[in-house]
Amino acid sequence: MHEEEITGYWKVRIFKKEDWYIAKIWANDGKSHWFTQGRTKEEILEMIADCIMCGCSIKISWWNKILSRLMWFR
């Protein structure tokens, strides 16, 4: 996938297995799907966003990522 293909419908299924939230993400092209996991509700939602950005070849700003993590501990 490419950056210009991010519009459309995305499907996400989140389920819990023991201490982990697991997400399966289906891309809007109907062919691609990815998995990610997180320990908290906040983490799984961030991981879903990161997974979609990586799948669409969108670079993730590590500086913004570090700042958002630090804000959790304020």
Please spell the DSSP secondary structure of 11-46, one letter per residue: EEEEEEETTEEEEEEE-TTSS-EEEEEESSHHHHHH
3-state secondary structure of 49: helix
**Predicted model pTM:** 0.74
Neighbouring-strand partners of residue 12: 25
State the average pLDDT for the chain: 83
Q: Which amino acid is at 63?
A: W
Record the tokens describing residue 8, joined without a space: 């459309």
Q: Which residues of the chain have pLDDT under 70?
A: 1-4, 68-69, 71-74
Q: How many structural domains are present in the chain?
A: 1
Query: Residue 33: which domain range?
Result: 3-72
pLDDT at 73: 58
pLDDT at 69: 66
pLDDT at 72: 58
Edge to edge, the sheet with strand 20-26 lists: 11-17, 20-26, 33-38
